[in-house]
Amino acid sequence: MDVKVVLGERSYDVVIDGGGPAAVAPRIAALGARRAVIVTDDVVGPLWAGVVRDALVRCNVATVVVTFPHGEVNKTLATWSALVEQIVAAGVDRSTVIVAVGGGVVGDVAGFAAASVLRGLPFVQVPTTVLAMVDSSVGGKTAVNLPTGKNLVGAFYQPSLVFAGLASLATLPARELVAGLAEVVKTALIADESLLRLLERDADRLRLGDPEALAPVIARCVAIKAAIVARDERETGDRIWLNLGHTVGHGLEVAAGYGTLLHGEAVALGTLAELRWASARGWSTNADLAPRVARLVARLGLPTSVPPIDLFAVEAAMRLDKKAAGATIRVPVVISVGHMTVVPVPIDSLREMLTS
Ligand code: GLY
């Protein structure tokens, strides 16, 4: 199944394919590529980079593989710097395609490298996690973290193609698979009551990674995200909705220490905290929504209570949110499922979001 992200001359397809990542090769060759650099990490690389490289070579695309250490803790300027040096050393020209094979961290770092080397090389995302398939690979956000905050350095840089080979989810560790489902819940909340009901119906199968349950859910999330990005590429409007759960979530992720809570786990906790906070202030028209989502999140195997953590550190991290504008932060709020608003929250009252 193909979903189009419609952005004028930067439009591209998101292909959702039942096979593995290697099936991307003819599509990359069809883009006119003759050389490629696969960027991956030391966990995904041994599983999938070799087969993608071999498939590209069979399609007459000369390909090298560049690998960096896995994990959010390595989504740094130092990793980006080493990566761009290796890409340049591989002998690239402006037609060389950068192919990100991996999860959200790989896609974000590889994308920022693609945006930077020679001021921009063609870029293909081959997401291998649920999180990357439903969220981070689509829409052109690329970035690295700073010790003080998530994704504080980066660029909007759209890929030429996204290829989600669902067979790669079979090798995904259970904790990573479940963490990605937090972005799925977020997507349902911002856009689609019927998707939320589907998640409730299939929660047990989704938690176990059943491909037949995952495929339609991933396809629906991609379609929702593609539509939002098409109408607001650079987050001046509705795209901010996709940050539901991320104001608190990023704060928790940074304060816990990158990699302690997985991004999706922090987003699940952040979504619950933000739903309760919005409900306590009467913004949500549905008082049952927060408990309903808590039940779903628990059934999906995601955490529902914040681990022991210094709330001052969480608040400090939240203050550095990219959505800050002067003394306020713009926070997306669910009025009811599929109906969103954005509330300016004074930075000095952010703590209330952690204690509602
Ligand atoms: N992950 C949120 C966005 O792409 O806008």
Which tens digits make up the pLDDT trace of 176-235? 999 999 999 999 999 999 999 999 999 999 999 999 999 999 999 999 999 999 999 999
pTM for the whole structure: 0.95
Q: Which among 235, 265, 274, 315 is annotated as catalytic?
A: 235
Which mutation among 185, 224, 239 tests ligand 1's pocket best, with the greatest number of atoms within 8 A of CB?
A: 239
* Residues 43, 38: Cα–Cα separation, whole Å: 14
Query: Pairing state of beta strands 328-336 and 339-346?
Result: antiparallel
- Could you read off the pLDDT of 135-181 as tens digits, one per residue? 999 999 999 999 888 899 999 999 999 999 999 999 999 999 999 99
* Cα of 58 from ligand 1 centre, angstroms: 34
Q: What is the DSSP letter of 235?
A: S
Query: Pairing state of beta strands 324-325 and 2-5?
Result: unpaired
Selecting from 3.20.20.70, 3.90.550.10, 3.40.50.1970, 3.40.50.700, what CATH number does the domain 2-171 have? Answer: 3.40.50.1970
Res 354: pLDDT: 83
Active site residue 200: no
Distances (CA, A) of 43 to 27, 71, 87, 117, 207: 25, 9, 20, 25, 21
Active site residue 58: no
**Is there an atom of ligand 1 within 6 Å of 242 CB?**
yes
* Residues 7, 188: Cα–Cα separation, whole Å: 23
* Residues 31, 121: Cα–Cα separation, whole Å: 13
What residue spans define the domains of the chain?
2-171, 174-355
**Is the confidence at residue 37, as pLDDT, over 80?**
yes
Q: Any idea which fold 174-355 has?
A: Dehydroquinate synthase-like, alpha domain (1.20.1090)
Q: Which among 27, 53, 186, 239 is annotated as catalytic?
A: 239
Stretch 56-70: mean pLDDT: 98
Q: Is 167 exposed, middle or buried (0-12, 13-18, 19+ CB in 10 A)?
A: middle
**Is there an atom of ligand 1 within 6 Å of 117 CB?**
no
> Of 16, 264, 28, 245, nearest to 136 (Cα)?
264
As a 3-state breakdown, the chain gives helix, strand, coil percent values, each rounded to 5, of 55, 20, 25
* Residues 93, 82: Cα–Cα separation, whole Å: 18
Res 165: pLDDT: 97
Return the SS3 of 82: helix
Are 49 and 101 spatial neighbours (Cβ–Cβ below 8 Å)? Answer: yes
Are 193 and 337 spatial neighbours (Cβ–Cβ below 8 Å)? Answer: yes
Res 351: pLDDT: 83
Q: What is the DSSP letter of 173?
A: -
Which mutation among 131, 221, 225, 250 tests ligand 1's pocket best, with the greatest number of atoms within 8 A of CB?
A: 225
